[in-house]
Amino acid sequence: PARTQTHLIDTIKPDKWKLVHVPTSLPVWISNMKFLLVVSALLAVGFAIPISEQVLEDWSVYKTAHGKVYSADEDEARLNTFLKSKTLVEEHNALYEQGKTTYTMALNKFADMTPEERRAYRGGSIKLQSSLPRSKHVSSNLTAYASIDWRNYGYVTPVKNQGGCGSCWAFATTGALEGQHFKATGQLVSLSEQQLVDCSGMNCDGGWMDTAYNYIKNNGGIEREDHTTDMDHGVLIVGYGFENGQDYWIVKNSWGPDYGEAGYIRIIRNYGNNCAITTAASYPTVRYTGLIVDDETDPIDDEDMSILGSSETGTSSSSGTTDTSAGGTNDTAVSVDPSIPKSVDWREKGYETPDTGSCHEISRKIATLKSYRRIPAKNEAAMMKAIANHGPIVCGVCASSQGFMLYHSGIFSLRHDGENCTTLNHAISLWGYVNDNNSSYFILKNSWGPAWGENGYMRLQMGENNCGVGDLCYYITVE
């Protein structure tokens, strides 16, 4: 009998069919040319094996659990990505059962996402250095305990979900500040990430923790999360301009000439509604003055209106409060003139008065920042001292590995992940650690919702600078 040899042939995948490897037995003595002809003929037939009903059921359950709905064409592409993740998770978890790895993976919301979609949850590259001033110090007299978990002391708010907005830096910043605010006041308050995203100039395109800290400090604090959409301050736009490829508004504030640029601030224009500046914009005439307000959508509540005060004459009262009576409203739409100049600054025409330093804001700032300090790089002893003595700290990590994105439980270590992950591209907070004879890990709080990891947390192996967690860390103090 002729000798045979097994070859693998890739088959074509039509709709609802899977690309598979089919073993065939071919005589070894066939010449190369004849072999190619046989293979071509087999491929032309295109025989394929359908995806099992169990896989399709798993796919349906997954989509329902994560609220995902796709068109027919997109569903096929997503299914292929899901199948790759499913294979990876099953193979990895089999290694866990054999004791060859220390953590498990799961088919979470990232399992069918494209690389671009996953990248949006991280927020871009985090710079190790910036031009902003900060001190670098952790006292050598501090004690690093064997273990600490600030969650057990009431310091932490529930795990939040940043969604597809690259705002991890904002969530990490507020998380640590929430803990420090509780430490100082005994009040656990959820702070506004949206305020940082809107007002620190970085939006959903990634950012830096030290920039957020400087904004909070210069702004005199940050608001509660539940006041995120309220307008609580009045400013005057005196012009607009364009510089280095960026449009901006020229805004006059009422916090004195020491604020910002001699009392002014330039706010990004034509890129999102930064600080809700265009939400209730109005302009006065000699007859009508005051804020144009729709009764059904009034963003300022009755208590706020009583604080603001009113005047029957429609002018500012002597106490310095803002007039709201106006004798009526004039909400006629403003026509768009195609000849609008590229830049305007009414200060140059003598239209503005000197800054009085009086503020008309309704202050809702809750947490204030005293200082923030950089922890020495790649120094886990210093990190433990900072956590034990100051509270939760904020760090940058590399979160792009498959293991990190699909992490489910256990102690995560890149040593078992098989991927090289060195670029910091995500911000998290560390809420404690365990360092004894049995285990050694940091307690990491993420901003991907409670369905990720261990109810939104990860145990990250210490001693290896896993994910670059020790490269860039800060601890903060509050007023």
For the segment 71-96, what is each residue's pLDDT rounded down to a tens digit? 999 999 999 999 999 999 999 999 99
pLDDT of residue 181: 95
Distance, CA of 174 to CA of 180 (rounded, Å): 10
Residue with tokens 């978890």: 93
Choosing from 108, 253, 274, 435, the catalytic residue is 253
Is pLDDT of 161 > 70?
Answer: yes
pLDDT computed for residue 402 by the predictor: 93
What is the model's pLDDT at position 327? 35
Q: Is residue 363 scored above 50 in pLDDT?
A: no
Rounded to an integer, what distance in angstroms lies between the CA atom of residue 443 and that of residue 149? 8
**Residue 129 pLDDT greater than 60, yes or no:** no
60 or 211: which leads in pLDDT: 60
Would the pLDDT of 400 be above 70?
yes
Q: Find the range with the poorest average confidence among 90-94, 196-200, 351-355, 432-436.
A: 351-355
Report yes or no: 190 and 222 within 8 Å, Cβ to Cβ: no
Residue 45 clears pLDDT 50, i.e. is over it: no
In the chain, the domains with their CATH numbers are 118-225+365-478 (3.90.70.10), 230-278 (2.40.50.170)
- Per-residue confidence band for 347, with pLDDT thresholds at 50, 70 and 90: confident
**Better pLDDT: 208 or 298:** 208
Q: Phi/psi at 242 (nearest 5 deg)?
A: -145, 130
| Paired tokens of 381 | 């002893």
Residue 415 is predicted with a pLDDT of 67
d(CA 161, CA 163): 5
- Has residue 215 got a pLDDT over 50? yes
The answer to whether residue 233 is catalytic is: yes
pLDDT of the residue at 356: 42
Residues 6+ apart with CB under 8 A from 250: 237, 238, 239, 240, 241, 264, 266, 345, 347
Predicted confidence band of residue 273 (pLDDT cuts 50, 70, 90): confident
402 closest CA partner among 467, 463, 449, 451: 467
Mean pLDDT value across residues 452-457 = 98
Does residue 7 have an active-site annotation?
A: no
Please compute the mean of the pLDDT values over residues 297-326 and round it to a whole number: 34
Average confidence (pLDDT) over 319-344: 48
69 or 26, greater pLDDT: 69
- Residue 304 is predicted with a pLDDT of 36
| Residue 438, pLDDT score | 87
In this predicted model, what pLDDT tens digit does every residue of 56-67 receive, in sequence order? Answer: 999 999 999 999
Q: Give the pLDDT of residue 272.
A: 66
Whether 38 has a pLDDT exceeding 60, the answer reads no
Catalytic residue among 108, 165, 168, 467: 168
In the set 7, 227, 233, 416, the catalytic residue is: 233
Band of residue 201 on the pLDDT scale cut at 50, 70, 90: low
Of residues 219 and 433, which shows the higher confidence score? 433
Residue 367 pLDDT: 85
Please give the pLDDT value at position 268: 84
Assigned token pair, 304: 């706020």
Its pTM stands at 0.64
Percent of the chain surpassing pLDDT 70: 67
What average pLDDT does range 148-171 have in this prediction? 94
Between CA 58 and CA 80 the distance in angstroms is 13
CA-to-CA distance for 431 and 391, rounded, in angstroms? Answer: 7
Highest mean pLDDT among 224-233, 285-294, 352-361: 224-233
Q: Is residue 18 scored above 90 in pLDDT?
A: no
Beta-carbon contacts of residue 229 (< 8 Å; ≥ 6 apart): 194, 276, 299
Query: Does 253 participate in catalysis according to the annotation?
Result: yes
CA 266 to chain centroid, in Å, comes to 24
pLDDT band at 204; cut points 50, 70, 90:
confident
Q: What is the pLDDT of residue 257?
A: 84
Q: What is the pLDDT of residue 409?
A: 98
Residue 310: predicted pLDDT: 32
